Amino acid sequence: MDIQIRKQALYIETIHSDGGPRAATPLKLAMAYAVVNNPYTGRYEPDLIPFMKALRTVGFELASQLADTLGKDKVEVYGKAAIVGINGEAEHGAIWHEAGGWAMREVLGNPKAMVPASQATAAAGFRLIMPLHYIHASYVRSHFNSIEVGTVDAPRPDELLFALGMGTGGRLHSRLGGLLKEEVSGHDGQR
């Protein structure tokens, strides 16, 4: 199946402080997206698997771009998001769960934690918040974070916006307790 990409982007945030002291090492959060044509708008398609499999190449490209930008060995958080143009259906965005999640795991050496996600069906210009979690265990509270996803001209009604996010650490001034990343056993992707 041919994936038609209209546009792509990469955004990087460098956070030096978040109300507390200036960080010795700034937190970097990055988000990459691709806006693609939705081949299923206006009709019900019972078999979405070919599209999902074809989107793995898009996911791999975005995940590789993020890992290269941040430094693969520095990535500590990840997430994924989809915005479906208003002529599509929620299931078209859900395709990204496997395609985007698989790609990030592959690029990052198969970490075990779930890849958190958000999705919405909306008009162009909609902004979605993508959750980010620690890549080795979902319950590391200090690493619960988010990054904004969206662009002014997408998705158009017959498009999909698929995004991946990564970051180099937890929140700068985390002090709410819970499981620390140094305490993670890494066996089940949760603790």
- pLDDT tens for each residue of 30-43: 999 999 999 999 89
Residues 147-167: pLDDT tens digits? Answer: 999 999 999 999 999 999 999
> What's the pTM?
0.96
What pLDDT score does 189 carry?
A: 72
- Where in the chain are the domains? 5-16+26-183
d(CA 149, CA 129): 6
Distance CA 186, CA 191 (A): 6
Residue 89's Cβ-count burial label (10 Å; 0-12, 13-18, 19+) is middle
Q: What does the block give as tokens for 17?
A: 């402080």
Q: Which of 71, 84, 85, 99 is nearest to 164 (CA)?
A: 99
- Please give the helix or strand (H or E) that residue 164 lies within, else none: strand 159-167
pLDDT for residue 186 is more than 80: no
Judge: domain 5-16+26-183, CATH 3.30.1330.110: yes
Neighbouring C-alpha atoms within 13 Å toward the C-beta of 167 = 29
